[in-house]
Amino acid sequence: MNFVFVSLQRINTDRESTSTNLARELARQNHNVLYVNSPVNRKDYFIAPESPFVAAHLQAIKSKAAPLQELAPHLWVLYPTQPLESFNWVPSTPLFLWLIKFNNRRFGKEIQKAVQDLGFDDYILVNDKDIFRSFYLKEILNPRKYVYMDRDYTVGAPYWLRHGPSLEPALMRKADAVVCNSLDFTKRAQFFNPNSFYIGNGFDVAQFNISHSASVPSDLKRIPGPRIGYVGALITLRLDLNLLIEVARARPNWSFVLIGTEDEAFALSTLHKLPNVFFLGYKHTREVPAYLLHFDVCINPQVLNDFTRSNFPLKILEYLALGKPVVATETNTMNEVFAEHTYLATGAAEYLVQIDKALAEDNEALAQKRVDYAKKFSWEHIAKLFIQHLQTL
């Protein structure tokens, strides 16, 4: 099959997403894939972008590098050269819809040329949460099938609040199918489109297949056990900061190791004053397995809100892939997908009980069951499931 992906996420950054991983895996399975990087905005030409990847995109345009490049066998990336205008300030959604047609046509024209250059006679267009820039691409490009991907609660973020809550359901309705990475998202999507399917989330199994004799990272070696660890963005939008403070205070003999970039609330929090809490900063995804391997318990202390309540936390798979006992906030996804292999808690008191239990019960047999379960979520499996659903249309 031929696929064209449009997404909010670029494929050549230090962050992976459902769409970037799915695109790479489909190419590995000999499907032809064109991944379209996010186009730049007009303002990026006049105000230096914060992202080095946006800056690199701009530099490629100015140097007149080829916009269409081969990344790997069967996988190409398109760097759109035409800047798009910003219309999100427009208060009226009908007027906003009329204005974004200009962006969609400009964007679609570049995609159309790349598709022709690649010789894609027909293709499946996959839209990963690109609500505004790609709203009219089904009509402009006329793909064989149009698939919308729902994998995060994007429309609750400030940028999307004005127009996103009404436009995303409209995109779902006109899609030939909606694929979702959580069961809650699937239930929501089915309200708008009966062809809505659950594919789950995946992870790079090979990356977490490391030797258990691997040495302890130097900045972790000095921290005494038991080590209770978290890896991911340290932001109050997604994590329960007060819960972490309460749990750390209640168990001064445990070491709480937090890895990731902090928002202002975390950076100024009481956690930095507690002697048993250790901030190790950002680590590249390639470094993460070595840290997880030497945690005694891994945690995911989510705060429950619209952004987290229905999500599929990828970090749970990564924790389980190394056989680690996991204590996580109870949600529908955690209950429906992970209950048998994790310890679920609500509130600080339950977290303390469950971490105690996880430490006491951990053994090699349980660790192997966790590893085996995590392997069911390989990207190879997710891509095959994705294809199976498409074949039912």
State the pLDDT at residue 15: 73
State the pLDDT at residue 153: 85
Whether 23 and 382 have beta carbons less than 8 Å apart is answered as: no
27: its two tokens: 């190419």
Q: What is the pTM of this model?
A: 0.88
Counted residue by residue, the chain has a size of 393
pLDDT band at 295 (very low <50, low <70, confident <90, very high): very high
- Residue appearing with tokens 């204590």: 327
| Average pLDDT score over the chain | 93
State the pLDDT at residue 159: 87
Q: Which helix (H) or strand (E) is 384 found in, with range?
A: helix 379-391
| CATH number of the CATH domain containing 42 | 3.40.50.11010
The order of strands in the sheet holding 277-281 is 277-281, 255-259, 227-231, 297-300, 326-329, 343-345
State the pLDDT at residue 157: 83
223: its two tokens: 């921290």
Whether 64 and 19 share a structural domain: yes
For the residues 141-147, what does the mean pLDDT come to?
96
91: its two tokens: 């208060």
pLDDT band at 41 (very low <50, low <70, confident <90, very high): confident
5 vs 46: CA distance, rounded Å: 28
Q: Which among 75, 72, 39 has a CA at the least distance from the CA of 57?
A: 39
Whether 238 and 273 share a structural domain: yes
**Does the structure show a pLDDT above 90 at 144?**
yes
Whether 34 and 182 share a structural domain: yes
309 vs 60: CA distance, rounded Å: 39
DSSP secondary structure string for all residues of 202-235: -B-TGGG---TTPPPPHHHHTSPSSEEEEES-B-
State the pLDDT at residue 393: 86
**Does the structure show a pLDDT above 80 at 14?**
no
- Over residues 249-265, the pLDDT tens digits come to 999 999 999 999 999 99
State the pLDDT at residue 172: 97
pLDDT band at 311 (very low <50, low <70, confident <90, very high): confident
270 vs 282: CA distance, rounded Å: 20
97 vs 172: CA distance, rounded Å: 16
**Does the structure show a pLDDT above 90 at 320?**
yes
pLDDT band at 285 (very low <50, low <70, confident <90, very high): confident
Who wins on pLDDT, 302 or 50? Answer: 302
Amino acid letter for position 137 = L
Whether 128 and 213 share a structural domain: no
329 vs 238: CA distance, rounded Å: 11
Largest CA-CA distance found in the chain, in angstroms, rounded: 64
- Over residues 206-253, the pLDDT tens digits come to 888 888 778 999 999 999 999 999 999 999 999 999 999 999 999 999
State the pLDDT at residue 58: 87
302: DSSP letter: B
226 vs 24: CA distance, rounded Å: 38
Give how many domains the chain has, as a whole number.
Answer: 2
146 vs 139: CA distance, rounded Å: 10
Whether 34 and 67 share a structural domain: yes
* Degrees to nearest 5, angle at CA 26 with 61 and 390: 115
Whether 44 and 172 share a structural domain: yes
Q: Which helix (H) or strand (E) is 177 found in, with range?
A: strand 177-180
Whether 386 and 319 share a structural domain: no
124 vs 93: CA distance, rounded Å: 28
301 vs 316: CA distance, rounded Å: 11
The whole domain housing 386 covers 2-202+379-391
**Does the structure show a pLDDT above 90 at 16?**
no
**Does the structure show a pLDDT above 80 at 48?**
no
CA torsion sign for 240, 241, 246, 250 is positive
For the residues 134-143, what does the mean pLDDT come to?
97
Whether 232 and 144 share a structural domain: no
Q: Which among 120, 128, 117 has a CA at the least distance from the CA of 69?
A: 117
Whether 296 and 324 share a structural domain: yes
| CATH number of the CATH domain containing 345 | 3.40.50.2000
State the pLDDT at residue 37: 94
**Does the structure show a pLDDT above 80 at 82?**
yes
361 vs 296: CA distance, rounded Å: 11
Whether 177 and 79 share a structural domain: yes
235 vs 256: CA distance, rounded Å: 16
pLDDT band at 363 (very low <50, low <70, confident <90, very high): very high
For the residues 36-48, what does the mean pLDDT come to?
86
Q: How many CB atoms are closer than 10 A to CB 105?
A: 12
Q: Which helix (H) or strand (E) is 69 found in, with range?
A: strand 68-72
State the pLDDT at residue 214: 84
Decide: helix, strand or coil at residue 374: helix
State the pLDDT at residue 264: 95
**Does the structure show a pLDDT above 80 at 281?**
yes
Whether 239 and 165 share a structural domain: no
Q: Exposed, middle or buried by CB within 10 Å (0-12, 13-18, 19+), for 375?
A: middle
Whether 192 and 212 share a structural domain: no
